[in-house]
Amino acid sequence: MKNTENKTNGLGMSAYTLKIIAIIAMLIDHIAWAFVPTGTILGQVMHTIGRITAPIMSYFISEGFYHTHNVKKICLKTRHICHNFTYPILLFYERPIAYFFC
């Protein structure tokens, strides 16, 4: 695997730095959902900070597609991960598996 820690984009931030920012932002958002009422100013600020995670992860997905040699393999891995996380969530919320396909 390539060492992405030393590679930087035009802003001087490496992929590792972006991943750490995304992880911290996601953690802040999850803490807000668990412990802070949504209607408060603090809750709204924490959720807003957490929203930067999706664009960062989307950037890494697009980079993965751009730099891969086997798009089919990446698509299968993504599908596998999606199914591995979706089915336990549906079971947790007691929804039938068929609900996922509707």
Distance from C-alpha of 102 to C-alpha of 100, rounded to nearest angstrom? 6
**Could you tell me where the beta strands, DSSP code E, fall in the chain?**
none
Asked if residues 14 and 6 have their Cβ atoms less than 8 Å apart, the reply is: yes
| pLDDT, position 10 | 63
| pLDDT, position 102 | 46
Q: Block means of pLDDT (10 residues each) for the chain, length 102 residues?
A: 56 87 95 92 95 92 84 85 79 63 50
- Classified as helix, coil or strand, 86 is helix
Of 100, 93, 99, the residue nearest 79 (C-alpha): 100
Q: Could you give the C-alpha distances from 35 to 27, 54, 74, in angstroms and in order?
A: 12, 21, 36
Q: What is the DSSP string of 25-69?
A: HHHHHHHHHHHS-TTSHHHHHHHHHHTTHHHHHHHHHHHHHHH-S
| pLDDT, position 99 | 53
| pLDDT, position 96 | 61
